[in-house]
Chains A and B, each alone.
Chain A
Amino acid sequence: MCNALGIVSYDDFVNIPGLNDTRPMPSVSFLGRYRLIDFVLSNMTNSEISNIQVYVKNKPRSVIEHVGTGRHYNINSKSGKLRILTGEANVQNEIYHHDISAYIANMQFIEDAHQDYVIIAPSYMVYRVNFEEVLKAHIESKADITMLYKTVDNADTAYARVATLSIEKPRKVVAIETNQGKFKNRHISLSTYVMSKENFVTMVHLANETSSLFTFRDVIKDQLPMMNVVGFPVHGYVACINTLEEYHRVSLELTDYAVSKTLFDPDWPIYTHTNDSCPTRYTATADISASVVSNNCLIEGTVKHSVIGRDVEIHKGAVVEDCVIMANTKIYDNVHLKNVVVDKFAKINHKVDLTGSPDKIIYVKRKDNI
């Protein structure tokens, strides 16, 4: 059992117009059968964290439906606990509606947790890490806060507005800045923090007292000179889903089995909610390559280098290339799609030709009929 309370956080600056119109980041579909939150929750439960709080800023319906009691994430239904929490107190007033206000509103549940530490991680960062090892390193380092980071060489095109860390040897974080995309090589913060519960509660109150607009990231940055903050490098696959282009790029990158193997490990299962869908049927006219496909689809057309969600129909003569097609979508005869993200329940009728480009993805909204 891991001696930490798991907190699935949200960051205010992460919002993808379209994708986030009907659901918050945690319940955005990913790689066919998953939603983004599955990765952080599986990291937590695989690390034997059994007390978890999921904070949702708004539109919690899909998160509640997907996460539920958390039983399918391998949490003991008696001794474990998963709570979905919202910062409802300030809902009418958008500027006060941030992570700190949500923690303040639910402080009782944080203080009541039996665990001595907290591990805070958002759902828009996709990676695999054993939090038990991170916690062990944190305790050994005697640091006030441990921050997970990834050293990347594409900070100019990805990770927009994510925090970057300046790290002095051995692992001390000396500055926290915001990624403006000016440099390629950066230490990217995974917005994932480990600290004692006591320290966390102090930081939350401090943020609230300093400014009612302060977020958790602001208070860490503000207090950095007074604290011992260390970085913990993540060496495996990391993706940050904070723009439509990155969502599209990362999804397609993970259709490559060699890349996918760096995120998925049979010994580190990624749990999700099952829809009890039957297998997918490929007809004699199907042509599929370099793609990821979920269950209960009907594939009659051509699918190249794409991600196909559950219950999708791709009819004869349709060509889907470099696309992310979400669940319950119907792509009818002879439709051509390239570099398109199609949201759930959309219908695209025959003879439509939609061609986007990797840096200008076409987004077809939920329930759209084209």
Chain B
Amino acid sequence: MLHIVTVCGLGVGSSLILKMTVDNVMKELGIKCKVEHWDMGTVKSRNADIIITTDGFKKNFKGQDNVIFVNNIVDEAEIKDKILSYLNKNN
């Protein structure tokens, strides 16, 4: 099962809302996955299939190719687009 992790600084605010949006999108797409929300510290010491976070954290993930950056954490259309193009590129 696909393991997706949403990330933000403290791990309680934006990552949680992002997780909820991603949950909705994945349900719509019919893809089975486990979505968790972590803070920056946790994600650095563990890994996941796909990491989704906001534009602001681009520098923290330099060199990693399994990260999707979004602009608006409640915009399902943007997130669906980006997830689909990522999956198409990598499968």
Q: Are A and B genuine complex partners?
A: no
Q: Using a CB–CB distance below 8 Å, which chain B residues touch chain A?
A: none
A residues near B, CB below 8 A? none
